[in-house]
Amino acid sequence: MSLVRLSSLPYAVVLRRGWLLPCLFMLVLAGCASRELTPIDAPPDRAGISMERALILSHAQQAIGTPYRFGGNTPEGLDCSGLVEMTYRAAGIRVPRTANEQFQALPKADAPRPGDLLFFGERRKATHVGIYRGNGQMIHAPGNGRRVVSVPLEIDYWQARFLGAASPAP
């Protein structure tokens, strides 16, 4: 059997071929059912994340460039734990206010996933927190006179001070 172009057949012939329309319909349905909604520019380790994590990451990304403000937790100014509080609040998740309170209270994670929290400090006290972006990157509010940025985690500074990760988002 050879394939024919529909435009070359009269309408009545297309209707008489009872197999043609159902087959086309099934092809359209199969195409719709097999697609997955994944942004083209999303890193591979963001595939399949929850809506809450997507919101956290989106709000953290939007916060890049926001000036640092001690005690800040609004788009006008953020400190590290304020960035976490603001982005998690946007996803409907309440977290403690300070980095150390977050470190002590939130469920630990062995291997961070995008949207998880990364804690840094001395011994067992967290003095800094950032949001794991995926692909070895963290979004955080670095300190006075600076702005929220995304940084690579392979830097020795972060490696030497890493305390652990927490996963409060589903």
Supply the pTM of this predicted model.
0.73
Instruction: Give the active site residues.
Output: 80, 128, 140
Whether 32 is covered by a domain: the verdict is no
Whether 96 is covered by a domain: the verdict is yes
Phi, psi of 92 (to 5 degrees): 80, 20
CATH number at residue 78: 3.90.1720.10
Please state, in angstroms and rounded to a whole number, the distance separating the CA atoms of residues 32 and 26. Answer: 10
Whether 39 is covered by a domain: the verdict is no
With a CB cutoff of 8 Å and minimum separation 6, the contacts of 141 are: 66, 68, 78, 79, 80, 82, 83, 147, 148
Q: Give 135-166 pLDDT, tens digit per residue.
A: 999 999 999 999 999 999 999 999 999 999 99
Q: Give 56-84 pLDDT, tens digit per residue.
A: 999 999 999 999 999 999 999 999 999 99
* Count of CB atoms situated within 10 Å of the CB of 50: 13
Please state, in angstroms and rounded to a whole number, the distance separating the CA atoms of residues 118 and 157. Answer: 14
Whether 10 is covered by a domain: the verdict is no
Q: Which domain holds residue 60?
A: 45-166
Number of folded domains that form the chain: 1
